[in-house]
Chain A
């Protein structure tokens, strides 16, 4: 094909990160797994909103605060899994596709950031849709009481999704091929969502008094799921649920606002550090 006379675009070129993000978004949205996961998430959010306070023995809807508190566990289980699966699907893609993309005049950093941005918009869109639908139901039934906490909780959920996209990208780069990457991703999900708390509680049970509380407080920062759980419950005015640890956290950090700020900063570090690590791995490995 003779292409020598082709004109190049005069328009300002779109950033490669944006182009790759757009493509990743299209691929992810058309992926049936994304549709299934987003659908399940949305339906469960809606069910929680409808079920509301039924467990307490009367019909009707819970307000935003109670609905959000009910959603916390769903979010903490489902969102990390969704993000890890999508990151693995994207970063451990077919070799031919990956090689073609990385052979273009774009840097490895741009490819990584573009992919994460596209995945985040896809997963974030699914989550926001779930929050809007369930929030709409609550708003229609009970009014706006607690809506600020609900929105803050939605933001925490987005942050959790971003954290696990970055962790998933790193895990895939460390694991290599797709089957191993999926295994690693599932292992990480079990670690952060289930095992970590069991191990921490086991360790804390060997300690007494203040040292146990301090240990629980410090281990909080080793698990982004716990960070988001605690921050979400604080913004939903449910910090008393943590008992001594929650009290120690609030006392140590100087109140709910500062506590949430510290937890969010720690969560942002859980985005930045895996991303930097993934970047370092990607720069030094063969595609």
Chain B
């Protein structure tokens, strides 16, 4: 379970996240839906412990990320928004490094390479990979440690249609395995298809938490994703 309570985070004069609270239950798939700059990535980074919150608390499986970051990260697997790997390392070397870092048997690496359809490119340097291959390798790194919580920041951003389909299969498999998943997206269809619940982020605030069914009902009346956001924000004006 992930519990976020009154989370706020600023960057110089910009309030990136404003008093955000939510809970994600064990085995649930929760989507952060919102436009660019709405606070989705910053919230995810705070949950992982990469960004340090100004206030609020975050507990992952009961562990406070600020007090026990190492213990909390044992149960987390995180995919950054624009995952990049060192150009000179091969896919196999990257996975072996992460396997050793997380105490995963090196033999598992071959199985993960195979499942990620990376057998042919396993010994090629990452600098030669396309955006889609890099993202697939990122997902392979995420899947490697069998973590119970997956945090994925815009995981389909660089994927071609095949890659998007494989990602959806990946999420379904992980959900069946009982993983708790948060992923961020600005694609309504992606949130509707994959998530159990959706958190709508606008201007650094979590303006709504909806089940997918409720979201679908609202989205039928909206002409565009912007209309959907406006539906939740109403007449409120964002502070600068």
What residues make up the interface of A, taking CB atoms closer than 8 Å to B?
1-4, 6-9, 13-14, 16, 19-20, 23, 26-27, 30-31, 93-97, 99-100, 102-107, 284-287
Measured CA separation A284–B143 after assembly (Å): 30
Specify which of A1, A95, A99 lies most central, judged by the most chain B CB atoms within 10 Å of its CB: A1
Contact between A14 and B112 (Cβ–Cβ < 8 Å)?
no
Measured CA separation A23–B101 after assembly (Å): 11
Contact between A1 and B85 (Cβ–Cβ < 8 Å)?
no
Contact pick for B88, options A4, A14, A30, A284, CB 8 Å:
A30
CB-CB under 8 A from B212, the residues of chain A are: none
B119 interface residue per 8 A CB criterion = no
What residues make up the interface of B, taking CB atoms closer than 8 Å to A?
11, 45, 48-52, 69-71, 73-74, 76, 78-86, 88-89, 93, 97-98, 100-106, 108, 112, 115-116, 138, 140-141, 143-146, 170, 173-174, 176-178
- Nearest opposing residue in chain A for B126, CB measure: A97
Contact pick for A286, options B50, B104, B173, CB 8 Å:
B50
Contact between B88 and A26 (Cβ–Cβ < 8 Å)?
yes
- Nearest opposing residue in chain B for A16, CB measure: B101
Measured CA separation A9–B145 after assembly (Å): 12
CB-CB under 8 A from B48, the residues of chain A are: 103
CB-CB under 8 A from B176, the residues of chain A are: 2
Q: How far is the CB of B171 from chain A (nearest CB, A)?
A: 11
CB-CB under 8 A from B112, the residues of chain A are: 1, 3
Measured CA separation A23–B89 after assembly (Å): 9
Known: A4-B178, A99-B78, A107-B70. 16 other contacts (CB 8 A): A3-B146, A19-B100, A26-B89, A27-B86, A93-B86, A96-B84, A96-B85, A97-B83, A100-B80, A104-B98, A104-B101, A105-B70, A105-B102, A107-B69, A286-B51, A287-B45
Q: Is the interface of A mostly helix, strand, loop or mixed?
A: loop
Q: How far is the CB of A173 from chain B (nearest CB, A)?
A: 14
CB-CB under 8 A from B80, the residues of chain A are: 95-96, 99-100, 103
Q: Is the interface of B mostly helix, strand, loop or mixed?
A: mixed
Q: How far is the CB of A4 from chain B (nearest CB, A)?
A: 5
Measured CA separation A3–B146 after assembly (Å): 5
- Nearest opposing residue in chain A for B75, CB measure: A105
Say whether, besides A99-B80, A105-B73, A287-B51, A1 and B143 are in contact (CB < 8 Å).
yes
Say whether, besides A13-B103, A27-B86, A102 and B50 are in contact (CB < 8 Å).
yes
Measured CA separation A26–B90 after assembly (Å): 11
Q: How far is the CB of A5 from chain B (nearest CB, A)?
A: 8
CB-CB under 8 A from B177, the residues of chain A are: 2-4
- Nearest opposing residue in chain B for A97, CB measure: B84
Contact between B105 and A8 (Cβ–Cβ < 8 Å)?
yes
Contact between B50 and A8 (Cβ–Cβ < 8 Å)?
no
Say whether, besides A3-B108, A8-B103, A97 and B45 are in contact (CB < 8 Å).
no
Q: How far is the CB of A2 from chain B (nearest CB, A)?
A: 6
Q: How far is the CB of B8 from chain A (nearest CB, A)?
A: 14
- Nearest opposing residue in chain A for B81, CB measure: A96
Q: How far is the CB of B219 from chain A (nearest CB, A)?
A: 30
Measured CA separation A94–B85 after assembly (Å): 8
Measured CA separation A31–B86 after assembly (Å): 10
Q: How far is the CB of A105 from chain B (nearest CB, A)?
A: 4
Measured CA separation A23–B93 after assembly (Å): 9
- Nearest opposing residue in chain A for B46, CB measure: A286
Q: How far is the CB of B154 from chain A (nearest CB, A)?
A: 11
CB-CB under 8 A from A107, the residues of chain B are: 69-70
CB-CB under 8 A from B79, the residues of chain A are: 100
CB-CB under 8 A from B106, the residues of chain A are: 9
CB-CB under 8 A from B49, the residues of chain A are: 102-103
Task: Report 29 cross-chain contacts, Cβ distance below 8 Å, ordered by A residue.
Answer: A1-B115, A2-B173, A3-B143, A3-B146, A3-B177, A4-B178, A6-B108, A7-B108, A8-B105, A9-B105, A19-B100, A23-B86, A27-B88, A93-B86, A96-B85, A99-B80, A100-B79, A102-B49, A103-B78, A104-B98, A104-B102, A105-B71, A105-B73, A105-B74, A106-B101, A285-B52, A286-B11, A286-B50, A287-B50
